[in-house]
Amino acid sequence: MAEEEMVAGDVTAPPPKVLIISAGASHSVALLSGDIVCSWGRGEDGQLGHGDAEDRPSPTQLSALDDHQIVSVTCGADHTVAYSESRKEVYSWGWGDFGRLGHGNSSDLFTPLPIKALHGIRIQQIACGDSHCLAVTMDGEVQSWGRNQNGQLGLGDTEDSLVPKKIQAFEGIRIKMVAAGAEHTAAVTEDGDLYGWGWGRYGNLGLGDRNDRLVPERVTSASGEKMSMVACGWRHTIAVSYSGALYTYGWSKYGQLGHGDLEDHLVPHKLEALSNSVISQISGGWRHTMALTSDGKLYGWGWNKFGQVGVGDNLDQCSPLQVWFPDDQACFLSYNDPLQDFSQMSLVQVSCGWRHTLAVTEGNNVFAWGRGTNGQLGIGECLDRNYPQIIEALSVDGESGQHIESSNFDPSAGKSWVSPAERYAVVPDEKTVSFYFSSFFLRSSNTIKFVLANGTIIVFFWHVLTSVNDRSPMLIDDGEYKC
């Protein structure tokens, strides 16, 4: 018995596995088994939720959500939303302009806070765009909030909403899922009907014209096919039919529609290049697109300036190209030749940010590629990658969970809120910082105050000189620092 107990005591818990990944404009979030939420990348607007405005180049556990039983995480451009089924709470944090956090104001929030208007409502899916959000309830209703200058909230007007409001146009229609772009929105009903509304200048609503819509309108031109899922890029839309066929429409300046050209499409257009594949998941970035097939292959196309398509170069791609991954045995070999030792790996999840992409393999390894200047790739350094790079801290074949730091945020240590008035306040009577601008012909002065998340006040004063040859030293407070 003693020997059996000793053996049992030697059994270690399995490493945490990534369940959900989501990429924002310049930050990333992951939900891991064991009730762990991690975030990394740009943190200037509080979108990481760690109580400060610091960037983080590696996944960091969001301690404010420990023990919250989070079941979903979703990134907007510079804000983040999470949902706890057990608590029936939707949490949001990050940049708050236009009310995109849903808390009744436009303040930034540096730690997660439950949205009061959604308390007690069971949620099946959440979508975040650039400046607006939507939530689909278990009853198939849709709540929307945030920016609405083009009608992307679907409420019949162009007024921003600081709190979630029900889309009345869907009364009697059960919605399965929604997707949010920069200024437009799409939805699929439980019956497979496709809808679009909001900004439509590039045909991204799929309605055959370039007009905006203030309320959801049914898309009727997809060859009569019923749709199972939809995703939005910045100004383009991707949909998948019941049969697994992929359709794209909207803006195509960078080839993000995948049809081999740069032509916009005002109605859903079937992507013939993948007609022999059954599509299982789709994701739209700022100007690029990714599609995952039922047999685990990943394809990418569109804007590729930072390598976000993941095919080993920085050339835009007008047609789908397969993304190749290092196999499980080659994950930690030298990457001097990024195409060496790459082989097909079965993928189960993909998420596009504005300029970067995340993916999860069937073997529970997590990869990132594209823009990395804010640490959004999670690889510990702020460099771009044009091929998949493993995130060791989140990967089973790496060091999953072993070296994930925690934010350990103490609410008493600093401010959680930063209001627009504080963020953009112009104040004339504070200590000043003056510095030289190489401009002339105008003479003016001003002072701007910035309030950081921890309450620190930084005040900048500038004076535009009349001559580019008249250089003045930089003075900070008492003049100790000079340029």
Are 407 and 446 in the same domain? Answer: no
Are 184 and 306 in the same domain? Answer: yes
CATH number of the domain to which 94 belongs: 2.130.10.30
How many degrees, rounded to 5, is the angle at CA 228 between CA 222 and CA 232?
75
Tokens of 291: 């599609």
Which amino acid is it at 428? Answer: P
90 occurs within a structural domain: yes
- List, in order, residues 6 or more apart from 9 with CB less than 8 Å away: none
Are 396 and 429 in the same domain? Answer: no
117 occurs within a structural domain: yes
3-state secondary structure of 182: coil
Least confident range from 11-25, 45-59, 404-418: namely 404-418
pLDDT in tens, 89-102: 999 999 999 999 99
State the pLDDT at residue 12: 65
Tokens of 463: 């004076």
pLDDT in tens, 375-410: 999 999 999 999 999 999 999 875 555 568 887 665
Least confident range from 42-51, 286-295, 327-336, 345-354: namely 327-336
How many degrees, rounded to 5, is the angle at CA 371 between CA 186 and CA 278?
45
Are 403 and 442 in the same domain? Answer: no
Which amino acid is it at 92? Answer: S
State the pLDDT at residue 460: 41
Count of helix runs (H) and strand runs (E) in the chain: 2, 36
418 occurs within a structural domain: no
- List, in order, residues 6 or more apart from 239 with CB less than 8 Å away: 186, 188, 194, 206, 222, 227, 229, 230, 231, 246, 247, 248, 268, 282
Mean pLDDT (the chain, rounded): 84
Are 228 and 357 in the same domain? Answer: yes
State the pLDDT at residue 17: 94
pLDDT in tens, 31-90: 999 999 999 999 999 999 999 999 999 999 999 999 999 999 999 999 999 999 999 999
Domain boundary among the residues 361, 386, 411 is at 411
Total domains in the chain come to 2
CA distance 203 to 183: 12
CA distance 390 to 384: 13
Residues in the chain: 483
Tokens of 141: 């209703």
**Containing domain of residue 26, as a range?**
17-411
State the pLDDT at residue 325: 84
Are 433 and 393 in the same domain? Answer: no
Reply yes or no on whether the pLDDT at 178 is more than 70: yes
Are the C-beta atoms of residues 189 and 229 closer than 8 Å to each other? Answer: no
Are 449 and 375 in the same domain? Answer: no
Its pTM stands at 0.83
CA distance 151 to 183: 8
CA distance 210 to 85: 39
- List, in order, residues 6 or more apart from 315 with CB less than 8 Å away: 304
Are 398 and 452 in the same domain? Answer: no
Domain boundary among the residues 355, 379, 411 is at 411
CA distance 361 to 321: 18
Are 352 and 466 in the same domain? Answer: no
Which amino acid is it at 337? Answer: D
Q: How far is CA 215 from CA 144, 150, 153, 186, in A?
A: 12, 10, 8, 11
Are 307 and 455 in the same domain? Answer: no
In 381-453, at which residue ranges do the beta strands (DSSP E only) sit? 385-390, 405-406, 417-418, 433-434, 445-451
Backbone φ, ψ for residue 33 (5° rounding): -60, 155
State the pLDDT at residue 154: 99
Are 355 and 266 in the same domain? Answer: yes
State the pLDDT at residue 221: 82
5 occurs within a structural domain: no
